[in-house]
Amino acid sequence: MNFLAHLHLAAPARGLMLGGVLADLLRPAEIAVLPADVRDGVQLHRRIDAFTDRHAVVQRSIRRVADKLGWFGGIVIDVYYDHLLARSWADYADEPLRTFADRCYALFHEAAPGLPDEGQRFAHHFAADDRLVRYSTVDGIAETLARVSARIAARMPARAVRLEDHLPTLLAADAELAADFRVFYPELVAFAAAERGL
């Protein structure tokens, strides 16, 4: 799952929400010095990712795009599932997406001074770009895929790719992917709640 889902699954616990986003941004040494509740959020993020990666419905979604995307299919499905969550937000949350997004941005703004440089940069750009609300639009998903591509190119130059060029593949499979998501996400919500002891 991508940022919106991790925040939704960790809410309303601020430390879990912060850790749920920082898990993919910071190095282990930086995570080790975070407050305990934020480290708990990192661990929740990792358990959610493991559950998601093994789930048969998610694997089916990946197979729907694998011919065109190969190894990157799982990464792209994570992003597209956030698009599907944003589009159907009212089915899974009591507050509007705009309200939730603004609450998340305020959390990152408040936490930013105590974060490593990468976390501070993220906190600023995440809110400035209004990424959580932008997930609900096709343009927002294209932008997200472009950012993911840039991160892949910076960390693994040999695997450089333009994931945003594969947006037509996702849109062509939208109905099937949305059906998969409707089956999978309630199971993930239940899993995350159990992991948090709710």
What pLDDT does 30 receive? 87
Q: What is the DSSP string of the chain?
A: --HHHHHHHHTT-HHHHHHHHHTTTS-HHHHHTS-HHHHHHHHHHHHHHHHHHH-HHHHHHHHHHHHHHGGGHHHHHHHHHHHHHHHTGGGT-SS-HHHHHHHHHHHHHHHGGGS-HHHHHHHHHHHHTTHHHHTTSHHHHHHHHHHHHHHHHHH-GGG---GGGGHHHHHHTHHHHHHHHHHHHHHHHHHHHHHTT-
Please write the tens of the pLDDT for every residue from 127-184: 999 999 999 999 999 999 998 888 888 887 877 788 899 899 999 999 999 999 999 9
Domain boundaries, the chain: 3-195
Please write the tens of the pLDDT for every residue from 89-132: 999 999 999 999 999 999 999 988 888 787 788 888 889 999 99
